[in-house]
Amino acid sequence: MVEYHIGTSGWHYDHWRERFYPPGLPKPRWLEHYSQHFDTVELNNSFYQLPSEAAFINWRESSPPGFRFAVKVSRLITHLRKLRNVDTALANFLSRVRLLEDKLGPLLYQLPPNMHRKDEVLEEFLSGLPQGLEHVFEFRHESWLCPQVMDILRRHNAGFCVFDMPGLSCPVVATADFAYIRFHGSTGLYWSCYSEEELAGWAERIQGLDARKVYIYFNNDAEAFAVRNAQTLRGFLGEMGGLRRLVTYRRDVPKGRSPQP
């Protein structure tokens, strides 16, 4: 069975008050409320500044068992140094995020849009990454979106970040034993809402991925669209998964016997 972990990119949005968070609920309890609705979240503030040890420990202890934090890797590594000469910076980053312990999910390396494809840089960086963690790459320059780069990721069991955003098309593939998908907005970046028809189509494509686990995050936080879209997609995938299980079971029932409901 495929595990689907669906959530949003961040949870600490003031404009979600009364749209998602109950009036009067103090901010220190927002993660508790969020985790009652979703089993994963993507941490984005780690891209701009490495959170404190106390912050990671608090997030770990404030979330329920089985919860997963995907963590966006520091821009020092991906944007300023562009994957080169990053051993110390990466070690510091990893030592901090490991404080999440068993709640640490994938590490997202988002490359800048002005970084063109350089296979040797990617190969060298991948070779230095520690085993036992889920590493995933989001490429923002179209030169990376080719079969050769997908093959490099597969050799290292590194994930390819499937993304949906206006102005740039992306293949829907899995290059590791897990898949990772980000929704940045249907018609407008970060603010537009996906229709049910769009999400139903995405559910079919996601069902076709060859992965044992799929992480999905909505980054269109305006008006809490991300929350609504995540819940809708989860419903579609749940319905399709239930239908698939029923079809498989019926095929396995010996002739002459009626399947139980």
32 band by pLDDT with thresholds 50, 70 and 90: very high
Q: Quick one: pLDDT at residue 257?
A: 36
241 band by pLDDT with thresholds 50, 70 and 90: low
Span 182-197, average pLDDT: 93
Taking the model in full, what pTM does it have?
0.90
Please check whether residue 70 is in contact with residue 105, taking contact to mean a CB–CB distance below 8 angstroms. yes
The closest alpha carbon to 190, from 211, 169, 212, 166, belongs to 166
Distance CA 76, CA 89 (A): 8
Span 9-30, average pLDDT: 97
Distance CA 158, CA 129 (A): 10
Higher pLDDT, 236 or 257: 236
188 band by pLDDT with thresholds 50, 70 and 90: confident
Q: Quick one: pLDDT at residue 52?
A: 98
Q: Quick one: pLDDT at residue 1?
A: 86
Please check whether residue 141 is in contact with residue 115, taking contact to mean a CB–CB distance below 8 angstroms. yes
| Helices of type H across the chain | 30-34, 53-62, 75, 87-97, 119-127, 147-155, 196-207, 225-252
Share of the chain above pLDDT 70, in %: 92
Domains of the chain as residue ranges with CATH = 3-252 (3.20.20.410)
Span 227-234, average pLDDT: 98
